[in-house]
């Protein structure tokens, strides 16, 4: 799981649906990103999540 998505799930009270609304990333995409078996991740999704959570170190 990408670090910024892990942070969102652990330290914020965001559900994937709420994070989807805040980042404008489809819920299905976030659900796939949360799957530890996922092999490839689009960097722009990680950037959007990090920007929404004000994470600078990605």
**42 has a pLDDT exceeding 80:** yes
Domain that holds residue 30: 3-52
**Residue listed under structure tokens 């004000």:** 54
Chain centre distance of CA 25: 9
Tokens 């920007």 found at: 51
How far apart (Å, rounded) are the C-alpha atoms in residues 17 and 42?
19
pLDDT higher than 60, residue 54 = yes
**Distance (Å, rounded) from C-alpha 29 to C-alpha 14?**
15
Q: Does residue 58 lie in a domain region?
A: no
Please give the tally of structural domains in the chain.
1
pTM of the model as a whole: 0.69
Look at residue 1 and tell me whether its pLDDT is greater than 60.
no
Query: Is residue 35 scored above 80 in pLDDT?
Result: no
Q: What integer is the mean pLDDT of 4-27?
A: 79
34 in a structural domain: yes
How many CA atoms does the CB half-sphere of 34 hold within 13 Å?
Answer: 19
**pLDDT of amino acid 5:** 66
């Amino acid at each position: 799981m990408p670090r910024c998505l892990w942070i969102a799930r652990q330290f914020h009270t965001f559900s994937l649906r709420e994070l989807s609304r805040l980042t404008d990333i489809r819920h299905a995409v976030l659900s796939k990103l949360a799957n530890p078996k996922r092999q490839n991740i689009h960097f722009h999704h990680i950037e959007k999540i990090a920007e929404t959570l004000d994470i600078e170190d990605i």
